[in-house]
Structure 1
Amino acid sequence: MIPTVSNYWLKNAQIPVCLLSNVVLEQTPNREGLVNVDLEIASGVIRQIVASGTVETRETPTVNLHKKQVWPCFVDIHTHLDKGHIWERTPNPDGTFHGALKAVWKDIEVWNFEDVYRRMEFGLKCSYAHGTKAIRTHLDSGGRLADISWEAFRSLQKEWSDKLILQAVALVTLEEYLTAAGEKLADKVAEFGGILGGVAYMNPEIDRQIERVFELAKDRNLDLDFHTDENGDPDSITLKKVAETALKSDFSGKIVCGHCCSLAVQSPEQVTETIALVKQAGIGIISLPMCNLYLQDRQYQQQLNLTQTPRWRGVTLLHELKQSEIAVAVASDNCRDPFYGFGDHDGLEVFKMAVRIAHLDHPFGDWPQAVTQTSAELMGLSNIGKIGVGLPADLIIFQGRYFSEILSRSQHDRIVLRKGKEINTTLPDYQELDDLIG
């Protein structure tokens, strides 16, 4: 479908106007925020974006998209590639958060370089085929894993450098940073050009733990990425504490906090105070709608084999945060592991589920930025996740024309362009991991 020549036009495309950068069009977006445009691609770069039918293309090859939607490639800002695809080997016995922790602790016993490398690579293959361009992964970094996971990441980062931008975050519980091992880990993160992070949970030393992470990050000029309040306990306020510490420390790096689930079950007064602090501190919020839906509010009585219907959806207050002009993104999180037994590293699935779970419609507005531009900006990547003149033609062409179409069918037949060239979107076969998973 896509010409193999270096210069061609994509005609009659529909693009969410929120995904266009530095483009002036004399047309009003439709009720879904879509505009009908023609794009000229030359030598892998977008040369022109004009209202559809306004420029004569003459002899240049053209492709009529018949109003198919075109998006920039996805940016997946919160994943756990090192845990991915262990479900068949070590499933979650009851679907609870505690069950996930126990299962992962058990599975970690068999982790080695090859095991982690191959499962992470499988995830990258899926992400790339689905149309992702940049990924941030959290890496379990306690004990021997600090060497295994980071070395596997470094190898993959180098090997995939022409296809994917990869970032890594250290993942440990925050008390680790009060020890010599934690300081050594911070040095390793700096050596690898990574992001300092960890899981914050309420405990008597939480204030000192958070302060220490900020100190280590400031000394090494590192950005921060926390797991905060991944629970339904209204007394869990680690997001607030991270914001307070950021303001006290005058931290200049980027800070993002993932999950923030308990914010949705706190009092209006507590919510207002926390959101104000988060905004003042310039913290970005990452919601993980699929994993949070799976784990949060799951009640299972093992002795009676009884399951209770969940009373809430697990997600944080996306609308309230965004309305306060806080950067809000959504991401994949875990994939086929004890924390989330499903998933395929697909940014469209993430967006589709987020729309349904958190009502990111009526209107869709600029929510498509949550899996593209906003995530890119929070990762410090200024020129991806958007479509603009002079930017690389890294695009996804969906068969669906309207949101009701792309969010209803799988769009497995999407076309992915990298530098204007169509890539192979064949997904890796699960059998590739059979010798590891058994």
Structure 2
Amino acid sequence: MTHSFFQPPELTRYALRNLRAPECLVQAGTLPAENGLVGIDLLIDDGRLSAIEPAGTLPAELGPDLDASMVLPGMLDLHTHLDKGHIWPRRQNPTGDGAGAGMATQQDREANWNAQDVARRMEFGLKTAYARGVVAIRTHLDSLAPQAAISFPVFRQMRERWAGRIDLQASSIAPVDIFLTDEGRQLADIVAESGGRLGFVTKSTSHPREPVPPMLDEALGRVFALARERGLDLDLHVDESTDPRACSLIRIARGAVTHDFPGRILCGHVTALALQTDEVIDQTLDACVEAGIDVVSLPTVNMYLQDRSQNDRTPRWRGVTVLHEMKARGMRVAVAGDNCRDPFYAYGDHDMLDTYTQAVKILHLDHPLSDWIRAATETPAAIMGLDRGVLRAGAGADLIVLKARSYSEMLARHQFDRCVIRAGRAIDTRLPDYRDLDDLMNK
């Protein structure tokens, strides 16, 4: 049923013995570590982790010896786009770059994104993420009118439908200049009604070619006011560009301090920062630390979109931000999956273990691996305000068990035979069939 390498006992109380887990994710006192992993036994009782003991402690009769297999807490996808997902078969990106993605998505949205279409594709994405061991997702929802009034009610239905399986959060996304109009106020009301985060992209409809829109500071002031009035946090698409003149991040950080904004601010992408001078990077990170800004990098999607050419030129850079420098400053940083099988990314499968694995290679999150696994587990959980992403007694038994015995084995080979445990029970890890969406694609 599960397609996994082992099947845990069908009991309310049982043990998984002789496991290895990332030391940074285990909250069980001091345990001896080797290559960043600790050996543990887990006792599962009525869907929760009732005890974490050193490997070899729990009696053999309680459960199987897993021969040093790795165990992870359920993973979190802090930044994705479930409303866009899986439209690639009917609306491909003609150029493979950001401009082509925006054009193709707009065309598909205007032609097809009714409530049923959005709901069907979101459900497909959630089924896939669930089978991969993802326990929480924050999705951005395209929010230019009239789409916000369509997609946010669908999101609310999905959040209720998936409660207890995947914790769902939402953020709006629209050009920043709409917040200078009544549409921005209306959007803030929809977001507040939905318990979401107010979001925008640092581009404008009136000045689409400007790396920093001339009305940015005015629009930021309006966003801070709308969010403060409604008690909303912010989740923003910032400087997703190959143009080093795109320097909105420092303006957002300084604006948050100037306006004494009380909420949290998460900024996604900020790829242009990596193309700026060391002096500008230092100034920007100083401002971000002062404002308490968190950052999420979307390495697979930005590497796909950015520095792409139509004349057989090899891309020259990776399209990622300065995550190492941010983490060294004490900023909370995460990686996430972003788009999946849509014009912004032709690939992907809502698999945060794969996203982390690719992030290690793209961003050099290794030598040493250190505690970077937190960027897909504990850190996004903290940013989302969820009690997730760690292994501790009393937490829900939501686990991913891998046949791999080490980081090397985990990162070298796709873990297709993972065992996903939710509330102490192994789930069916078979993925939904793409054919399930064929009737939506044949339009």
Is the partner of 2:141 in helix, strand or coil?
strand
CA distance in 2, matches of 1:56, 1:402: 22
CA distance in 1, matches of 2:388, 2:290: 26
Q: Aligned to 1:155, which of 151, 154, 157? A: 157
Contact 1:25 1:51 survives alignment (8 Å): no
Structure 1 segments unaligned to the other structure (5+ residues): 301-305
Contact 1:25 1:50 survives alignment (8 Å): no
Confirm whether residue 405 of structure 1 aligns to residue 415 of structure 2: no
For 1:260-304, what per-residue CA distance to the aligned partner results, in whole angstroms no more than 9, with x for missing partners? Answer: 00010000100000011111111110000000100111122xxxx
1:364 is matched with: 369
1:83 is matched with: 84
Q: Aligned to 1:321, which of 326, 332, 335? A: 326
Mapping of 1:19-168 within 5 angstroms? Answer: 19-21=25-27, 23-27=28-32, 29-31=33-35, 33-53=36-56, 55-57=57-59, 59=61, 61-109=62-110, 110-168=112-170
1:378 is matched with: 383
1:303 is matched with: none
Offset, 1:347? 0.4
2:349 is matched with: 344
CA distance in 2, matches of 1:433, 1:147: 23
Offset, 1:51? 1.1
* Cα distance, 1:366–1:115 mapped onto 2, change above 3 Å: same
Contact 2:202 2:213 survives alignment (8 Å): no
* Cα distance, 1:104–1:26 mapped onto 2, change above 3 Å: closer
* Cα distance, 1:432–1:58 mapped onto 2, change above 3 Å: closer
For 1:66-120, what per-residue CA distance to the aligned partner results, in whole angstroms no more than 9, with x for missing partners? Answer: 1111000011000000000011100000101101111011101221111110001
Q: Aligned to 1:312, which of 299, 313, 317? A: 317
Is the partner of 1:197 in helix, strand or coil?
coil
Mapping of 1:297-308 within 5 angstroms? Answer: 297-300=307-310, 306-308=311-313
CA distance in 2, matches of 1:257, 1:58: 48
1:5 is matched with: 11
Letter in 2 for 1:19: L
CA distance in 2, matches of 1:415, 1:279: 39
2:264 is matched with: 254
Confirm whether residue 236 of structure 1 aligns to residue 246 of structure 2: yes
Sequence identity (%): 48
What TM-score results when the alignment is normalised by the length of structure 1? 0.96
Letter in 1 for 2:373: P
Offset, 1:25? 2.9
Is the partner of 2:295 in helix, strand or coil?
strand
Contact 2:149 2:190 survives alignment (8 Å): no
Contact 1:331 1:371 survives alignment (8 Å): yes
CA distance in 1, matches of 2:51, 2:156: 37
Q: Aligned to 1:390, which of 382, 388, 394? A: 394
Offset, 1:307? 2.6
CA distance in 1, matches of 2:20, 2:108: 45
Letter in 2 for 1:175: D
2:209 is matched with: none
Contact 2:298 2:335 survives alignment (8 Å): yes
CA distance in 1, matches of 2:148, 2:217: 25
Contact 1:83 1:334 survives alignment (8 Å): yes
CA distance in 1, matches of 2:270, 2:34: 34
What TM-score results when the alignment is normalised by the length of structure 2? 0.95
Letter in 1 for 2:390: K
Letter in 2 for 1:354: A
Is the partner of 1:136 in helix, strand or coil?
strand
Q: Aligned to 2:198, which of 164, 182, 196? A: 196
Contact 1:360 1:367 survives alignment (8 Å): yes
Is the partner of 1:114 in helix, strand or coil?
helix
Structure 2 segments unaligned to the other structure (5+ residues): 1-6, 204-211
Contact 2:85 2:121 survives alignment (8 Å): yes
* Cα distance, 1:265–1:67 mapped onto 2, change above 3 Å: same
* Pairwise CA RMSD: 1.0
Is the partner of 1:65 in helix, strand or coil?
strand
CA distance in 1, matches of 2:271, 2:148: 28
Letter in 2 for 1:266: Q
CA distance in 1, matches of 2:290, 2:394: 34
Contact 2:31 2:38 survives alignment (8 Å): no
Is the partner of 1:69 in helix, strand or coil?
strand
CA distance in 2, matches of 1:131, 1:151: 26
Contact 1:11 1:39 survives alignment (8 Å): yes
CA distance in 1, matches of 2:378, 2:281: 26
CA distance in 2, matches of 1:104, 1:58: 55
* Cα distance, 1:58–1:349 mapped onto 2, change above 3 Å: closer
Letter in 1 for 2:156: R
Letter in 2 for 1:324: R
